[in-house]
């Protein structure tokens, strides 16, 4: 994982937890499409914006090699973020892998709003863990799970979530992570009747709703479904709205 900070007073002042930025990869004209990366945190007083990302290809590798003082071309803040308010007295935040990155901004805002925050974070192993000190700072309770048990509890973060839900029900849940994790979170939210917001990750072209590459299936009030754009209508949706696999479209 890499963390990058850049200065943009506009983004820092206007960003909301769950939104993202669309970054043009510098120094390689063959990489035409921008890279969508969630906003990790902002500091409006200084104009500092933070992103955290994993190197998965040529574009993110180039970003990881940038040095202080260089210029970067960024569009943002983009998308619809998490719906939060001071009426939230207790919240559970669930993150898995790279999906933990946008949750730091969320946890901080929830805590500053006066709510009690329980953070459940799942990683592959100890080496994959990042930003624990920040989550400890802004969480009333923090639970870590790893697939191999090298840090925290061994197992899936959704197992820790179900144990927590058996003890107490929060006003709302927030989740970001891989689709298998989101499917279980979606099921548990329905089973325990807890409102839940999930952040989706999709490949994007334009990032502003024009190309329709990032469409996802959303339930309608009449029981049917329609396609919405993750980049503009999301990336955050209420969990009961989202059809997370093709098989669900036949139900």
203-212 contact pairs (CB < 8 A, 24+): 204/22, 204/33, 204/34, 204/36, 204/230, 204/231, 205/33, 206/231, 207/20, 207/22, 207/34, 207/36, 207/75, 207/78, 207/231, 208/22, 208/75, 208/78, 208/232, 209/233
Environment class of 245 (CB within 10 Å of its CB; exposed 0-12, middle 13-18, buried 19+): exposed
Instruction: Give the whole-angstrom CA distance, residue 51 versus residue 41.
Output: 7
Q: Where are the extended beta strands (E) located within 44-140?
A: 48-53, 73-78, 90-96, 116-123
Helices 179-191 and 157-167: crossing angle in degrees, nearest 10, is: 10
Tokens of 183: 């499917």
Q: What is the pLDDT of residue 41?
A: 97
Is 60 exceeded by the pLDDT of residue 153? yes
- CB neighbours (10 Å) of residue 212? 12
Instruction: Give the whole-angstrom CA distance, residue 133 versus residue 104.
Output: 11
What average pLDDT does this structure show over 138-159?
A: 96
Q: What is the pLDDT of residue 249?
A: 44
Is 80 exceeded by the pLDDT of residue 212? no
Q: What is the pLDDT of residue 251?
A: 36
Q: What is the pLDDT of residues 5-39, one digit of tens each?
A: 999 999 999 999 999 999 999 988 888 889 999 99
Q: What is the pLDDT of residues 109-141, one digit of tens each?
A: 999 999 999 999 999 999 999 999 999 999 999
Instruction: Give the whole-angstrom CA distance, residue 202 versus residue 216.
Output: 9
Q: How confident is the model at residue 165 (pLDDT cuts 50, 70, 90)?
A: very high
Instruction: Give the whole-angstrom CA distance, residue 235 versus residue 19.
Output: 7
Q: CATH code for 2-78?
A: 2.40.30.10
Backbone angles phi, psi at 115, to 5 degrees: -85, 160
């Amino acid at each position: 994982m890499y963390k990058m900070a850049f200065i943009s007073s506009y983004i820092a002042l206007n960003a909301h937890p769950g939104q993202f930025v669309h970054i043009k990869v510098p120094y390689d004209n063959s990489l035409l499409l921008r890279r969508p990366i969630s906003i990790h945190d902002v500091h409006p007083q200084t104009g500092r914006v933070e992103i955290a990302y994993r190197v998965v290809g040529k574009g993110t590798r180039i970003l990881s090699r940038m040095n202080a003082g260089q210029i970067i071309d960024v569009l943002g803040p983009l998308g619809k973020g998490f719906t939060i308010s001071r009426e939230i007295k207790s919240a559970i935040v669930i993150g898995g892998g790279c999906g933990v990155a946008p949750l730091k901004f969320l946890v901080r805002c929830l805590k500053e709003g006066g709510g009690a925050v329980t953070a459940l974070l799942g990683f592959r192993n100890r080496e994959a863990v990042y930003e624990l000190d920040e989550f400890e700072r802004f969480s009333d309770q923090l639970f870590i799970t790893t697939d191999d048990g090298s840090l925290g509890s061994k197992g899936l973060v959704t197992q820790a979530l179900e144990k927590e839900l058996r003890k107490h029900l929060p006003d709302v849940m927030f989740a970001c992570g891989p689709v298998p994790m989101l499917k279980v979170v979606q099921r548990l939210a329905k089973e325990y009747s807890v409102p839940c917001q999930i952040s989706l990750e999709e490949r994007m072209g334009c990032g502003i709703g024009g190309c329709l590459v990032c469409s996802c299936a959303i339930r309608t009030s009449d029981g049917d479904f329609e396609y919405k754009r993750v980049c503009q209508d999301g990336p955050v949706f209420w969990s009961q709205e989202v059809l997370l696999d093709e098989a669900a479209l036949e139900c």
